[in-house]
Chains A and B, each alone.
Chain A
Amino acid sequence: MFSKFKGQIDTIFVDVNSASFELDKSVNIILSPSLYWVKKVTLPVKSVREVKPLLESLFEENLPDGVYSYDVYKQDDEFVIFAYEDKVILNILHEKGISSAQINKVYLAQSELFRQESAKKISEDTILLVEDGIVVVLPFTFASSDEVLDVHDVKLSKNSIRLKQFSHLVNEKSLYTIAFIFFALIALVSTEYFITVKKNNISQTQRDALFVKYGLKPTMLQNRSMLKSYEKIYKSQTQLREYMADLLSLHLKEKHKIKVITYKNKKLRVQFDGIKSGEEKYIEQILKSKKCKFSAQYKNDIWYVEFKI
């Protein structure tokens, strides 16, 4: 990084007919007019920013088929506009032995060499000269010069261009559109994710609040076990009441009486008094008709009935 001080970076001129370069560090490149299209236009606008959206239409019908990038800068009252094919230029640079990593900045000959006063030789067959303020490359036959172009000492302007390596894959506008759609989707999904996480936290808090409100035990296992024991008691108490209701609704014969009713350890026992052997049948039938589960035994004129709860 520190080796790339402006003064230390060399500048080279690249034309289609240039010989290959052997570089060991990054360089600034001035592109030959043969690698771009240029126009000088006068427009009823003041700023470069206003011209940029018009560049493509200003070159319409002048350019061969291809994927072009455009640039503009203002010179006096005129706008100098350019069109160039990034991929084509990068391929040529690659052919000349210049990799992307070795390129510091790229300039166009128009912006850097338009002050050249005389024709300069750039190869055996071609020369570079300035015609009506436009830098052009012409065959050697148009003008002769023995002076070879030297760009090492050229003071570079601020009008560098940025070559897009992947402009042939997808144009910048589509890329921004796709990226915007993706960012919008990511933003939407992220928002929904954060809302869901918040809802989760609220749900968790509400559940914790239930434990406090109802005075529940710390674990669900303990609570389920507690409910199970409560339900067991509820069931046995309901059953006890059902059997008691059945017993108290019995229409006993005059001499037959219930003497004792006991309930302990989930067993309901009843002693019927004044019943002679065989007389208990009608009570048995009534209890069976009411689907009571019981066992009974007769002993010393007392009929013992036991209900299991």
Chain B
Amino acid sequence: MNRINPIHIAILLVVILAFIIMKLHDAKEELAQNKESYQKTLVLADKIKGLQSSYFNKIKIQKSLERLLRQSSLRSANITKKVTNSGILLTSESMDIKALNLLMGKILNGAYNISNLKIKRLNNEKASLKLEIKW
């Protein structure tokens, strides 16, 4: 005998449909949150990567400073270079003003994290320098 009430079947189907719709709604919300989270993470990661590669990349900073110090006008400027774990220290007891201008022009226009700086005018043509760059 067919004893199943079609209304019961209909209710069951409605309940199943409602349940799946609810699950779908939750999944869509989760997807929207995941997408938003992905975009936020991407923006954050780009910013961190950008700043890291410009201000805190040890190898890049060392190479660019070495390239700079190899320039003929700076080679004769008696600049001492000391590399530590946290950064690099450039010192000169007495250097030509033009060489100082060239060096500082490059440093200030580049992405270097200057933590310590002392420039002292010795006379019209000479100055002393102490410059610490950190990474």
Contacts and interface: CB of A to CB of B under 8 A. Distances in A.
Given A230-B56, A244-B108, A100 B3 contact: yes
B28 A207 contact: no
B48 A223 contact: yes
Closest 3 CB pairs of A and B: A214-B45, A263-B117, A203-B34
Contacts, number: 136
Interface in A119-172: 162-166, 169-170
B47 to A, nearest CB: 6
B76 interface: no
Contacts of B6: 166, 169-170, 175
Interface in A207-233: 207, 210-211, 213-214, 216, 220, 223-224, 226-227, 230-231, 233
Interface string B13-26: 11011001101100
Nearest to A231: B51
A230 B48 contact: yes
Nearest to A187: B20
Contact of A206 (B38, B52, B55, B120): B38
B96 to A, nearest CB: 17
Contacts of A213: 45
Nearest to A270: B119
A105 B120 CA distance: 114
Given A214-B49, A223-B44, A261-B119, A237 B55 contact: yes
B77 to A, nearest CB: 17
Interface residues of B, number: 48
B114 A263 contact: yes
A228 B49 CA distance: 13
Given A192-B24, A193-B27, A214-B45, 4 more contacts: A100-B1, A182-B10, A216-B41, A216-B45
B116 A179 contact: no
A199 B29 CA distance: 12
B100 to A, nearest CB: 11
A163 to B, nearest CB: 6
B117 A200 contact: no
Nearest to A240: B114
A257 B55 CA distance: 32
A185 interface: yes
A213 B48 CA distance: 12
Binding site of A, secondary structure by majority: helix, strand, loop or mixed?
Answer: helix
29 contacts: A164-B2, A165-B1, A166-B7, A175-B6, A179-B9, A182-B13, A183-B13, A186-B17, A206-B38, A214-B45, A214-B46, A216-B45, A220-B41, A223-B45, A227-B47, A230-B47, A230-B51, A230-B55, A233-B55, A237-B55, A241-B108, A260-B118, A260-B119, A263-B117, A263-B118, A264-B116, A264-B117, A264-B118, A273-B121
A217 B34 CA distance: 18
A189 B21 contact: yes
Interface residues of A, number: 56
Binding site of B, secondary structure by majority: helix, strand, loop or mixed?
Answer: helix
A230 B35 contact: no
Contact of B34 (A190, A207, A263): A207
A257 B121 contact: yes
A263 B47 contact: no
Contact of B2 (A163, A240, A264, A273): A163
B57 interface: no
Interface in B27-67: 27-28, 30-31, 34-35, 37-38, 41-42, 44-49, 51-52, 55-56
A42 interface: no
B35 A234 contact: no
Contacts of B7: 166, 169
Given A200-B30, A233-B55, A258-B121, A162 B45 contact: no
